[in-house]
Amino acid sequence: MSISVDDVRYVAKLSMLEFEEDELIQFTKEFNKIIEYVDQLNDLDLSDIEPLYHPIEGSKATLREDITQKSISHDEAFLNAPDHEDGFFIVPKVI
């Protein structure tokens, strides 16, 4: 399997990205190197290896007990807030 420049151009268009032609060619080369590298996995002889259904056999997931606890009140939460209004925290605009 290989990737063509048209494939990269199509994915770029779907992603709403624009690239110069030389960038598309470079990306195509890089993607094909990655595919070639990953494709080496197909050459491995796995006939003697039993499939893993659970990668860490014999282990149990350590889960905490799900216990409901009383939460702090709005007033207590707002004690640590530098600013709040109408029950909401006021924070600086990020964008």
Q: How many residues does the chain have?
A: 95
Q: Is residue 25 part of a domain?
A: yes
Phi-psi region of 17 (alpha: psi -120 to 50; beta: other; left: phi over 0): beta
**How confident is the model over 14-68, as pLDDT tens digits?**
999 999 999 999 999 999 999 999 999 999 998 998 887 766 666 677 778 889 9
Q: What CATH number is associated with residue 24?
A: 1.10.20
pTM above 0.75, yes or no: no
Q: Is residue 37 part of a domain?
A: yes
Task: Kindly state the DSSP code that residue 42 receives in the 8-state scheme.
Answer: G
Give, in degrees to the nearest 5, the angle at Cα 6 between 5 and 9. Answer: 85
Q: Is residue 77 part of a domain?
A: no
Going by pLDDT thresholds of 50, 70 and 90, the confidence category of residue 95 is: confident
Give, in degrees to the nearest 5, the angle at Cα 78 between 75 and 64. Answer: 85
**How confident is the model over 71-81, as pLDDT tens digits?**
998 889 898 88
pLDDT of residue 57: 65
Q: Is residue 66 part of a domain?
A: no
Q: Is residue 78 part of a domain?
A: no
- Structural domain for 13, as ranges: 5-43
Number of domains in the chain: 1
Q: Is residue 86 part of a domain?
A: no
- The SS3 call for residue 85 is strand
Q: Is residue 65 part of a domain?
A: no
Q: Is residue 79 part of a domain?
A: no
pLDDT of residue 53: 72
